[in-house]
Chain A
Amino acid sequence: MLGMEARRDGVLGLSLLAPGFGAGEPAGSSWLSRLKAEAARDFAAQGLPTRRREAWKYTDLKPLAEIAFRAPVTDDSASVRTLADLLDLPPPEGSRLVFVHGRYRPDLSFCDLSETGVSMSPFNAGTGDDKALAARLLGRIATAADQPLVALNTAGMEDGLCIHVCAGVHLQRPIEIVSLGSAASEPLAWHGRTLIVLDDGARATVIERQCAPAEMPAPALVNAVTEIALGAAAQLCHYRQQALGTAGFHINAVAAALGSDAVYEAFTLTTGGGLVRNDTSVTLDAPGAETRLAGAYLVDGTQHLDTTTLIEHRAPRTTCREVFKGVVDGTAEAVFQGRIVVQRDAQGTNANQLSKALLLSDGARVNQKPELEIYADDVKCSHGAAAGQIDREALFYLRSRGVPASVAQRLLIEGFLGDALSQISDETVREAFSRTAFAWLQDR
């Protein structure tokens, strides 16, 4: 059903349009079938984005079109369980929802029943309220019409996940979503879809982990979309860790819409994946909304990492702050495209963006495009972007005090990444992410 065939001319996923596509949906989900059918048309109309499209100027999806991806079949439970063990995940703090190839696996998941006021369910299996919520919001925050990969996801998604936190509820423990890929011997593609809704005054922390074995015999395409709706004064901390194998294509779109005085904090740590695109778009729809986006990436080999953000200030007194830092080794390439739009009504906007990349080797490359688009005058907006190598004088300073070169270098990189990592307000996550990042440095 989810199979995709690729043709040499670069048109991907033609079978999405084949008769019977979208069949097999649970009964009573006509809105979902409709949404998927529309998205399939949208994708067919747009095709895979090429580099001629400004938003994809620095990331080439051509390799994707050359692989005949297949839809995953139901996994052998035993091998996946071993896989989960292999990935060495820490014991869950709160709820842990495990997805294998985009499909929910209750046998591997753990639900924290002590928390009340929160529901987690597939789009069609929840209570009436949650189903109505999904029907109302799905495809509205991340739109398929102008984003081909969101269209592809919408057309290809299976059951998806809806997290709904009721008004005024403060979740005590984080919700963890683990998405696993196994060492399949043929190219697989899956399209995970998540909807997170926080009602007025609700607070939650969501941690997403994308993992797969380091050695993958065949390429995989993970094309995930997360839609987030925050009510008035709701607060969401959203942390993501990407550690897919280097044979993986990971395209990840997050779209968030914020109500008045809502706060959306996000951090993405990327170490894995052959070609990774992290697309985050946040609209600050009501006065006082605030978003803090940050990320750190450590890439080497022939990895390609693209961080693209779009923040749209649509209401007065909205705030955004972005800090992205990364190290690029080998012949890897990093891309940062950050766009901030301030609409005419968004007076009193405060927007600040920083992107810095450290190039560790001769073949490493970085392309950055910070962009400001401002239609209001009472604003304070700034952005900064920089690329360079490790400061030789700082290195000399440390070495002259007896610190070995490799250690000195690591210390300086740790300090460099620290600016971004310190943006994580959850202490446990900050420590865990720092450990992962520093371990990467140790191993290189």
Chain B
Amino acid sequence: MAAPGAGGTDVLNELVGQSYKYGFVTDIEADTAPKGLSEEIVRFISARKDEPEWLLSWRLKAYRHWLTMPEPTWAKVSFPPLDYQDAYYYSAPKNLPKLESLDDIDPEIKRTYDKLGIPLHEQQILAGVAVDAVFDSVSVATTFKKKLEEYGVIFCPISEAVQKHPELVRKYLGSVVPYTDNKHATLNSAVFTDGSFVYVPPGVRCPMELSTYFRINAAKTGQFERTLIIADRGSYVSYLEGCTAPMRDENQLHAAVVELVALDDAEIKYSTVQNWYPGDEQGRGGIFNFVTKRGACRGRNSKISWTQVETGSAITWKYPSCILQGDNSVGEFYSIAITNNYQQADTGTKMIHLGRNTRSRIISKGISAGHGQQTYRGLVRVAARAEGARNHTQCDSLLIGSTCGAHTVPYIESHNRSAVVEHEATTSRISDDQLFYCRQRGLTLEDAVALVVNGFCRDVLQQLPMEFAVEAQKLVGISLEGSVG
């Protein structure tokens, strides 16, 4: 690919060569379970969390089922077989402080957040974001709790919810992603350590965006978060999830499960910026991000909207989905995925139309550079009784460099004649004409690329909450500028 101007290659090399900005390790003593996976470990985790009997037996059922499951091999990603015994399944920061405010937070952790550029105080003041900061599987700080309590919104670590609201957890846990769902989700069901729990009572519009920052910290610790969000009748909640991780040489497995339940007239907006460590330029190390995210629009007129910006991880395996059960329910999926160097991403969504007049919209923007391999894999299924269902899917891929790949694998199953299902996909590269046009007007190469790419991603970036959009835009810029020459 010809550089539209001199120096293009240098810029490319320089920017591609950018090392992972957020790679560092915080030195904190961790209370760690012995290495390996066994029934004892599952019991250990459950005992540590002081869990009730029903949850332990659920975990054990999952573990026993997991043993019988083969590795999923259908995704277009390749990696050496996982050694589940060569990992730790539980690690929690020691001396867990009972904090009333963020000022009491462990200074070491606080420095970590500062390095990550998560200005907790600023967020509190400026954005009104309540942060449930998860540091190595255990939540260490929760803010804005009082305000949320006023509204009756429950926002706490799921381990706390198990103790305080067992009836809610028991009712909904595993009701969207059953413990038999897939190998990774089943593993999560057996060994999940923590995660967020949100319950928004009927008719309540959550007064602020809820946000959790996850962070992998202790070496060789698989992260198994479990998130459960329930929006009761007529409620609304917007949840932000963002993550960065320190640089590691070994692969780390991250198998989270997120379950959303929207009842009648409720709406859940779930936004993710994912920037786990992607491995180095040779493709060594990096996080394996094998996530199961699924939302159930159980009620009439309910709505679930997924927005994701996926720039990190060595391997991303993630399909945030919507089960549109309630009549007139709406599912949305907006995604930007970027693969650079040797990153691999197989991501997309499933929209399962079951109810009448259900609608779904999918916009997926994939950008592949370096030796990155990227696949959009999506399913739109209209069941026979989903009268009047409507889907529109747009998935575009942008290729940067001749050694990367972009693939599109949509499955479209329409079993009701009144349904209208449309799918469009395009694949192309940034044209030299576009770059030439910009450069002719005095833009530098990287500005030109950033401009074109931001334009390419605009439909998705627009869907992000304001606080996130800024970060995401920056991330997109950083991830891509260097790849064009």
Contact = CB atoms under 8 A, between A and B. Distances in A.
Interface of A: 54, 344, 347, 357, 359-389
B417 A389 contact: yes
Contact of A378 (B1, B384, B409): B1
24 contacts: A357-B414, A359-B414, A359-B417, A362-B384, A366-B413, A368-B413, A369-B409, A370-B425, A371-B408, A372-B407, A372-B427, A374-B405, A376-B402, A377-B404, A379-B428, A381-B428, A382-B424, A382-B425, A385-B412, A385-B421, A385-B423, A387-B414, A388-B417, A388-B421
B235 to A, nearest CB: 34
A389 B429 CA distance: 35
The SS class assigned to the A binding surface is strand
Contact of A385 (B1, B403, B410, B420): B410
B410 A377 contact: no
B424 A384 contact: yes
B12 to A, nearest CB: 13
A309 to B, nearest CB: 15
B426 interface: yes
B272 interface: no
Contacts of B406: 372, 374
Contacts of B423: 368, 370, 383-386
A358 B86 CA distance: 53
B419 A382 contact: no
A374 to B, nearest CB: 5
B407 A373 contact: yes
B190 interface: no
Most B-side CB within 10 Å, residue of A344, A347, A373: A373
A381 B427 contact: yes
B418 A377 contact: no
Q: What 10 A-B pairs are tightest by C-beta distance, nearest first? A: A359-B417, A387-B414, A377-B399, A388-B420, A372-B408, A381-B427, A368-B412, A382-B426, A385-B423, A365-B415
A386 B422 contact: yes
B402 A367 contact: no
Most A-side CB within 10 Å, residue of B409, B417, B426: B417
Contacts of A380: 426-428
Contacts of B421: 385-388
Nearest to B401: A377
Nearest to A335: B413
B186 interface: no
Most B-side CB within 10 Å, residue of A347, A367, A377: A377
B427 A369 contact: no
B411 interface: yes
Nearest to B430: A377
A54 B402 CA distance: 28
A367 B417 contact: no
Contacts of A371: 407-410
A373 B409 CA distance: 8
A123 B28 CA distance: 77
A384 to B, nearest CB: 5
A67 B52 CA distance: 56
B476 interface: no
B397 interface: yes
A371 B425 CA distance: 9
B410 A367 contact: no
Contacts of B429: 377-379
A383 B408 contact: yes
Nearest to A361: B417
Contacts of A54: 74
B218 to A, nearest CB: 38
Nearest to B412: A368
A387 B412 contact: yes
B256 interface: no
A360 B413 contact: no
A362 B417 contact: yes
Contacts of B408: 370-372, 383
Contacts of A357: 414
Contacts of A363: 384
B377 to A, nearest CB: 10
Given A369-B411, A384-B423, A386-B422, A360 B417 contact: yes
A284 B417 CA distance: 37
A384 B427 CA distance: 12
Contacts of A381: 426-428
A362 B387 CA distance: 10
A379 B417 CA distance: 35
B338 interface: no
Nearest to B413: A367
A374 B367 CA distance: 12
B417 A383 contact: no
B450 interface: no
B400 interface: yes
Contacts of A369: 409-412
A379 B399 CA distance: 9
Nearest to A362: B417
A347 B429 CA distance: 11
B343 to A, nearest CB: 15
B212 to A, nearest CB: 35
Contacts of A347: 402
B415 A372 contact: no
A383 B414 contact: no
B381 to A, nearest CB: 9
Contacts of A362: 384, 416-417
Given A368-B414, A377-B404, 18 more contacts: A347-B402, A361-B417, A366-B414, A370-B425, A371-B407, A372-B406, A373-B407, A377-B400, A377-B401, A379-B399, A382-B425, A382-B426, A383-B423, A385-B410, A386-B423, A387-B419, A387-B421, A388-B419
B401 A374 contact: no
Most B-side CB within 10 Å, residue of A357, A365, A387: A387
Nearest to B385: A362
A344 B406 CA distance: 11
